Amino acid sequence: MAIPLDPRLNALNLCKTILTKLDAAEADVLQNIDDPKRAWPLLSNIRQLRRETFEDLQALLPDGFRFDEPTIDLARPVRTVMTQTGATLAVFNGGQTL
């Protein structure tokens, strides 16, 4: 007997995979690119892809479903990385617009 699969489950798993890979790409940029002028456009693109993927994920979920909203301390960076040249790159508020 076959168990019917919800097509949304496959899409949710795919979105989770994409978001995980975007997190890894952001960490890679922060750790390996020493020039903030080169890093910023890459980080901006990664954050835009994360927002779009998250919006697509929310469209797959039932109406009224809400994720727990994390509290964000805007004065504290989400990530801070010391580059090889000694420059410090910091990411604030997860790239969200307020």
pLDDT digits (tens, 9 = 90+) for 19-52: 889 888 988 888 888 888 888 899 889 989 888 8
pTM of the complete model: 0.56
3-state secondary structure of 89: strand
pLDDT of the residue at 35: 84
pLDDT of the residue at 97: 45
Q: Which residue has the higher pLDDT, 12 or 40?
A: 40
pLDDT of the residue at 65: 67
Under 8 Å between Cβ of 15 and 56: yes
Residue recorded with tokens 């009224």: 64
- The full DSSP string for 6-22 is PHHHHHHHHHHHHHHHH
CA distance 30 to 87: 11
Supply the Cα-derived Rg of the chain in whole angstroms.
17
Phi, psi torsion values for 54, nearest 5 degrees: -65, -40
